Structure 1
Amino acid sequence: MEKILTGIRSTGTPHLGNILGVIIPSVGIVNRNEKHSSFIFIADLHSMIQINNIKTIINNTYQIAAAWLAFGLNTENCFFYRQSDVSEVTELAWYFSCFFPYQRLTLAHSFKNEISKIDKRKISMGLFAYPILMAADILLYNAQIVPVGKDQLQHIEITRRIATSFNQRIGKKLFVLPNAFLQKKTMSVPGTDGKKMSKSKKNWINIFSSDEILKKQIMSIRTDSKSLEEKKDPETDYVMSLYKLIAPLDKIDKMKKKYLKGGYGYSEAKIALYELIIHKFSTERKKFFSFIKNKSLLDHILSLGAEKAKRIANERLNDIRKCLKLKPIKSN
């Protein structure tokens, strides 16, 4: 049985890019109950790199849990848990950090990109060691498939290097080499400015916001300066790009014809996108707000998932400790 692992950092409510690129495909895999063992976790430890306020991280964690559940995740068919509830991952990350060369981590694109934006005096070890903790997330369960975006491909390669290096050191194939899985259709969902949708770029669309805010976000999508009467290119327009990711084929075809005919403005296209989102995700929006009002239920669901995950994590970590000649830890 193949193991699939997916994590989303608790940096805020999942945006449309997260939903199309990660949540919907993952829920489909889990709920079809195929020959996969799925691990879906909320990466609150990773979030500490960006967010110092613990209350904010806790609140964000609830938002993410509610989003997954609103889209119908069957938690009986997977391991759905909060990263910090499985402490074995941080112990494994420490072992990896002791065996993996510092120089290779300095080559990580994510690290180089971040340090170019911030004061070097504010760079944390957490930011530098991010790929190590990510490797521990994956290798603790020997996940073979990891759905990621393009920007995470190098981290999967680092994880493979860590696994290979560790296996060679202990003379045993303790870790399998994971493979990245890219959702081709939604691997890069454009934001309101046409660049990849991201909270940090403030170009995101939050389907769980109020109708007023959601409409405002959609109306802010960047377009060219063509007049109402002019023909428009459906292949280069950002509104159309988002519409094509959500709408059924017949509606996409109708929208394309309107673009190419002329006499159809971008404001009308944006309203059509807004109405599509409101209609398509109406059930999920209602469920989301219901879960947010019942945080004790969310805690219960995440705790049950953590208990299941910890049983596997503890067994795996004891195998690793044995290879390192360390005393095993008894499970509770």
Structure 2
Amino acid sequence: MTKTKVLTGITTTGIPHLGNYVGAIKPAIEESWRDDIQSYYFMADYHAMVKGRDPKRIHESGMHNAATWLALGLDTDRATFYRQSDIPEIMELNWILSCMTAKGLMNRAHAYKAAVQQNVADEQNDPDFGITMGLFSYPVLMAADILIFNAHKVPVGQDQVQHLEMARDIAKRMNHNYKTRFVLPEAVVGEETAILNGLDGRKMSKSYDNTIPLFVPEKKLLKLIRKIKTNSLEPGEPKDPSTCTLLQIFSAFANEEEVLAKKAQYEAGAGWGDLKNELFEYVNDKLKGPRERYNELLQDPAFIEAELRKGAEKARAEAAPFLQQVRQAVGIKGFV
């Protein structure tokens, strides 16, 4: 059976929250169990340097994210789970691709254009003020992440679709000029991917400071759930479940029958206090086992390191011979 290669980068600039779990981690782990899928998951620590200048934060975030995926049941024998910085072939390919990437293409990258526009709005004399080459060439490194394994599909948010288009453009230029055989990757934007609202009703995001960390202690989880914004309807008054963050979070963990029963409670006029307490009990029960495993893993960084090293060994066994083919194609080879 020919397997479809699916590659997912894991940002290492913060602690995973419920929105990350529902929108990315849970569906990715479930997909990794499919026999027709070959999954690659990597800690994008070099990418983290584009926005993060705190070495301790980048390091700790990587460990917390790795522990999260392992605690939630990722099978590292089935999937290839590695740290980006452990695969030197990615960075070498990054340079090779850079030499075939038009500057004009990078000029059109959304993140770079937004930074320039902000400088203009701030009346900076230099429109490139404060913009690093890391930010400017970020899409090339992303292309190297994908092309080194010839991934067929890459799950991304809508804001990353442009980067996949750039990766395809770069791969086409390489294939045309050097007769390489890069697969042209496809962006997978899940239209049905769950997006959770945060404490204030907006999309759950670290940028809004409205997140619920995935493995926060029980008492803190209860406190955060009780802070979720609701309307002023009193107990006994019917409530619209379709506009409620509480039901949205509940639905992310519950089955269809449980969701229908919970909607009936809303329509019957259940009080917000009761609904919040019930949500805590339900979610806490679902997360209790993974939370315990997560905390155990954080106390055993050697195990996390061993899992990532195992993944790196598997990844390099694939990346190294392919990079050798690319080097031969571009003329980087011995004389005899």
**Fold shared by both chains (TM-score > 0.5):** yes
Tell me the distance in 2 between the aligned counterparts of 1:223 and 1:199. 20
- 1:304 corresponds to which letter in structure 2? K
- 1:86 corresponds to which letter in structure 2? I
Structure 1 residue aligned with 2:286: 280
Asked if the contact 1:163/1:176 (under 8 Å) is kept, the reply is yes
- Cα deviation for residue 49 of structure 1 reads 1.4
Q: Does the C-alpha gap of structure 1 residues 70 and 237 become closer, same or farther in structure 2, counting only changes over 3 Å?
A: same
Please say if 1:128 is aligned against 2:128: no
Tell me the distance in 2 between the aligned counterparts of 1:35 and 1:320. 27
The 3-state SS of whatever aligns with 1:235 is helix
Asked if the contact 1:5/1:145 (under 8 Å) is kept, the reply is yes
Structure 1 residue aligned with 2:13: 11
Q: Does the C-alpha gap of structure 1 residues 206 and 173 become closer, same or farther in structure 2, counting only changes over 3 Å?
A: same
- Cα deviation for residue 116 of structure 1 reads 5.8
Q: Does the C-alpha gap of structure 1 residues 107 and 212 become closer, same or farther in structure 2, counting only changes over 3 Å?
A: farther
Please say if 1:149 is aligned against 2:157: yes
The 3-state SS of whatever aligns with 1:224 is coil
- Cα deviation for residue 36 of structure 1 reads 2.4
CA shift digits 1:45-73 (9 cap, x unpaired) = 11111221222211111111111111111
Tell me the distance in 2 between the aligned counterparts of 1:48 and 1:245. 32
Identify which range, 295-304 or 236-245, moves more after superposition: 236-245
Determine which of 299, 314, 319 is the counterpart of 1:313. Answer: 319
Structure 2 residue aligned with 1:290: 296
TM-score, normalised to structure 2, is 0.89
Tell me the distance in 1 between the aligned counterparts of 2:116 and 2:299. 38
Structure 1 residue aligned with 2:125: none
- Cα deviation for residue 248 of structure 1 reads 1.9
The 3-state SS of whatever aligns with 1:230 is coil
- Cα deviation for residue 109 of structure 1 reads 2.8
User: Aligned pairs, how many?
Assistant: 325
- Cα deviation for residue 117 of structure 1 reads 6.3
Structure 1 residue aligned with 2:276: 270
- 2:12 corresponds to which letter in structure 1? S
- Cα deviation for residue 9 of structure 1 reads 1.1
Q: Does the C-alpha gap of structure 1 residues 188 and 85 become closer, same or farther in structure 2, counting only changes over 3 Å?
A: same
Tell me the distance in 2 between the aligned counterparts of 1:267 and 1:144. 47
> Identity, % of aligned pairs?
39
Identify which range, 110-119 or 69-78, moves more after superposition: 110-119
Determine which of 235, 238, 244 is the counterpart of 2:242. Answer: 235
- 1:62 corresponds to which letter in structure 2? M
Q: Does the C-alpha gap of structure 1 residues 325 and 80 become closer, same or farther in structure 2, counting only changes over 3 Å?
A: same
- 1:104 corresponds to which letter in structure 2? L
The 3-state SS of whatever aligns with 2:77 is helix
- Cα deviation for residue 209 of structure 1 reads 1.2
Please say if 1:74 is aligned against 2:75: yes
Structure 1 residue aligned with 2:308: 302
Asked if the contact 2:180/2:329 (under 8 Å) is kept, the reply is no
Question: Where do residues 1-332 of structure 1 align in structure 2 (5 Å cutoff)?
Answer: 1-32=3-34, 34-113=35-114, 121-170=129-178, 172-262=179-269, 264-327=270-333
TM-score, normalised to structure 1, is 0.90
- Cα deviation for residue 115 of structure 1 reads 5.7
Tell me the distance in 2 between the aligned counterparts of 1:222 and 1:112. 35
Asked if the contact 1:207/1:277 (under 8 Å) is kept, the reply is no
Identify which range, 176-185 or 110-119, moves more after superposition: 110-119
Asked if the contact 2:11/2:43 (under 8 Å) is kept, the reply is yes
- 2:159 corresponds to which letter in structure 1? D
Tell me the distance in 2 between the aligned counterparts of 1:271 and 1:196. 22
